[in-house]
Amino acid sequence: MKIHEYQAKDLFKDFNIPVPRGKVAFSPEEALSIAEELGGYPVVIKAQVHAGGRGKAGGVKLAHSAEEVKDLASSILGMRLVTHQTGPEGKLVRKVLVEEALDIEKEYYVSVILDRSTEKIVLMMSEAGGMDIEEVAEKTPEKIVKVAVDPLIGLWPQHLRRGCAGLGLPRERQKGFMAIMRGLYRLYVSYDCSLVEINPLVLTAQGEFIALDAKINFDDNALFRHEEIKGLRDIEEEDPLEVEASKYGLNYIKMDGNVGNIVNGAGLAMATMDLIKRAGAEPANFLDVGGGASSEMVENGFRIILSDENVRAIFINIFGGILRCDVLAKGVVAAAEKVGVKVPVVVRMEGTNAEEGRKILKQSGLDLRTAKDLKEAAKMIAEIV
Amino acid sequence: MSIFVNKDTRVLVQGITGREGQFHTRQCIAYGTKVVAGVTPGKGGQKMDEVPVFNTVEEAVKETGANCSMIFVPPAFAADAILEAVDASVEVVVAITEGIPAQDMLKVKNYLRGKRTRLIGPNCPGIITPGECKVGIMPGHIHKAGGPIGVVSRSGTLTYEVVYQLTQKGLGQTTCLGIGGDPIIGTNFIDALSAFEADPDTRGVVMVGEIGGDAEEKAAEFVKENMSKPVIGFIAGLTAPPGRRMGHAGAIISGKSGTAEGKIKAMKEAGIYVCEDLGSLGEFALEVFKV
């Protein structure tokens, strides 16, 4: 789960990580009153959307006066921010963060991540702050300092000393920097984060470290033990169809293609999307109904896929293991009758009771085309699209 | 021969009295697996069908000589259940549970170093040595006993698809295992590949990977350096959009890493036979393994 920068900064405060003074605003008037409260210009106005690259896309502006605050806030609020992470349709800006501007001496990058490769928690630190860290890692990997922490031991001072040494921080800056890294690590562990990142972490002219930006991602699988974090979810940032699907326990991701698909199992679902592409079409979605899919789940899957106007055909690919194909076929027929499917449907089912399943589909009188294997299914899809 | 489990494997089931636990225990027994014990805290002394239930893994191991555990415990308590099995020195632990918090698994994984236990999973279908022992939720009947092919995969139903096609072409399996779709898992590709290399009855391996992480790249390197047996590779997720978690917690392209293209390239460079069309994997395997 992702949260907004302003929410992340609120959490930072709980872990003694300094952030600029500021507040979130939902209207230009609100933005103005926050700016006045801050008591001095310039102030920074930052679009709050779940995407990186906001600055480059014009979502972060400096306002030097009250009028400018109102003007800039009204232009940013309601705009569709297109960054390298949003896709071409962009993301609608519904709120802005209004903050004091800082006198910046130097920018750093710091984060805490779970490193799958080494199976440790890793502190990442770099003097190349404010830049795309992926790019830094690719072009100048020597600029990134990594310190691995064994989760069973936790964070110790030596980890932090090594970080400071790697960055070449002068002695008088180390204490402040270590306090921030300690806070970040504690936050990471306390809330089951999958990523905590400050980019940039700035050193001000006054010699203080302050988190100018804040990014936190949470492990969805651990949300059950963090009720307070669940409340930070912003459903407006998510695709409405995906939100709808999640209500029914369906794992759905919307894509730009024209062939919808319903599959049991995530790996097979991905492979099915790839198969659609190989057949010369484009997948309209990823949809995993899970190992124990019920007929209600298939029905809801149908409904969600059909509400995507681009969909011109649906491919149902089920490998019946524990889930029996005859049971599923009944579900498909019932769902198709109920929802009123108006596009061709190709069904391929294999595994337990596949023969009975195909028979049920055939006898239903619906426009369901049964394929005997993946090859034939691909051919049918290619013919339709 | 086989890897990790065989006809002598004595299985205990953690979470045996739950709905999933009961159902799959019965399926495993019907397949021929020796299920000797169950564990559900507070239900010691009861029986699930004919299987005696114990309060702790330690007790179950002591009383029944179980050397393998299959875990159906809900995600919030699953890491704890794995640790209990590790502390009882169970040789093979198969964690089926999906949705265990990543930081729980990170601790478990680091705790496992130097221990006797091999963990398979979590978030996996389990492991089967066809004709001998099924420790998992896969449909037994799609498998063909006697080898000579080993199958290792990060997925569930996609593995069934692959196994089914092999069986259709007359290619039996020595052992098939799902290593799990999570970012932190016990047994990895390399562990399975080296075991298959050492198994005299396995003559070739099919490995099924997907987007996310660098396990396939590392495995490719291992194959190049250490394997004499032919390996077929398949990778799911060529069309997956970056930054999105594709069902499995571990299936995510982050930045430029973890892409299907990168994995396919690494596998090809390592001499792995990459099958790019799932629909014809069976024929492809017949061609490569020439049996």
CATH number at residue B48: 3.40.50.720
Q: Are residues B285 and B160 in the same domain?
A: yes
**Under a CB-based contact definition with an 8 Å cutoff, are residues A314 and A292 in contact?**
no
A288 in contact with chain B, both atoms CB, cutoff 8 A: yes
Q: Which of B23, B154, B160 sits opposite A321 (nearest CB)?
A: B160
Name residues of chain B where pLDDT drops below 70. 291
| pTM to 2 decimal places | 0.94
Q: Are residues B163 and B68 in the same domain?
A: no
Digit-coded pLDDT (tens) for B210-258: 999 999 999 999 999 999 999 999 999 999 998 899 989 899 888 778 9
Q: Are residues A191 and A275 in the same domain?
A: no
Q: Are residues A9 and A123 in the same domain?
A: yes
Q: How many CB pairs under 8 A join A and B?
A: 173
Could you say which of B71, B88, B123 is where a domain stops?
A: B123
Q: Evaluate whether residue B129 is within a structural domain.
A: no
Q: Evaluate whether residue B106 is within a structural domain.
A: yes
Q: Are residues A9 and A131 in the same domain?
A: yes
Q: Evaluate whether residue B90 is within a structural domain.
A: yes
State the residue range of the domain holding A304: 239-384
Please report residues of A whose CB lies closer than 8 A to that of B245.
220
A151 in contact with chain B, both atoms CB, cutoff 8 A: yes
Instruction: Residue B275: name the closest of B130, B156, B166, B124 by CA.
Output: B166
Catalytic residue (one of A6, A68, A107, A109): A109
Q: Are residues B86 and B185 in the same domain?
A: no
Catalytic residue ranges of B = 248
Q: Are residues B148 and B258 in the same domain?
A: yes
Q: Are residues A198 and A184 in the same domain?
A: yes
Q: Are residues B29 and B80 in the same domain?
A: yes
B191 in contact with chain A, both atoms CB, cutoff 8 A: no
Q: Are residues A220 and A233 in the same domain?
A: yes
* Residues B141, A283: C-beta atoms closer than 8 Å: no
Q: Are residues B61 and B194 in the same domain?
A: no
Please report residues of B whose CB lies closer than 8 A to that of A246.
none
Contacting A residues, span 99-118, partner chain B, CB-CB under 8 Å: 114, 116-117
Could you say which of B66, B100, B123 is where a domain stops?
A: B123
Q: Are residues B158 and B267 in the same domain?
A: yes
Residue B194: what pLDDT? 98
Report how many domains make up chain A.
3
Could you say which of A219, A237, A255 is where a domain stops?
A: A237
Please report residues of A whose CB lies closer than 8 A to that of B218.
117
Q: Evaluate whether residue B130 is within a structural domain.
A: no
Residue B204 sits in a domain of what CATH number? 3.40.50.261
Q: Are residues B275 and B157 in the same domain?
A: yes
Could you say which of A214, A237, A260 is where a domain stops?
A: A237
A235 in contact with chain B, both atoms CB, cutoff 8 A: no
Q: Are residues B13 and B105 in the same domain?
A: yes
Q: Which residue of A has its CA nearest to B245?
A: A253
State the residue range of the domain holding B71: 1-123
Residue B257: what pLDDT? 85
* Residues A288, B247: C-beta atoms closer than 8 Å: yes
* CA–CA separation, B112 and A190 (whole Å): 23
Residue A293: what pLDDT? 67
Q: Are residues A130 and A191 in the same domain?
A: yes
Contacting B residues, span 143-162, partner chain A, CB-CB under 8 Å: 153-161
Q: Are residues B232 and B152 in the same domain?
A: yes
Residue B291: what pLDDT? 59
Residue A282: what pLDDT? 95
Residues sharing a CB contact under 8 Å with residue B157, sequence separation 6 or more, in sequence order: A263, A264, A265, A267, A268, A291, A319, A321
Q: Are residues A195 and A338 in the same domain?
A: no
Q: Are residues A50 and A178 in the same domain?
A: no
Residue A34 sits in a domain of what CATH number? 3.30.1490.20
Name residues of chain A where pLDDT drops below 70. 291-293
Q: Which residue of A has its CA nearest to B167?
A: A351
Could you say which of A237, A271, A294 is where a domain stops?
A: A237
Q: Are residues A38 and A109 in the same domain?
A: no
Query: Does A100 qualify as catalytic in the annotation?
Result: no
Residue A220 sits in a domain of what CATH number? 3.30.470.20
Q: Are residues B110 and B82 in the same domain?
A: yes
Please report residues of B whose CB lies closer than 8 A to that of A286.
240, 244, 246-247
Q: Are residues B114 and B179 in the same domain?
A: no
Residue B79: what pLDDT? 98
Report how many domains make up chain B.
2
Q: Are residues A254 and A298 in the same domain?
A: yes
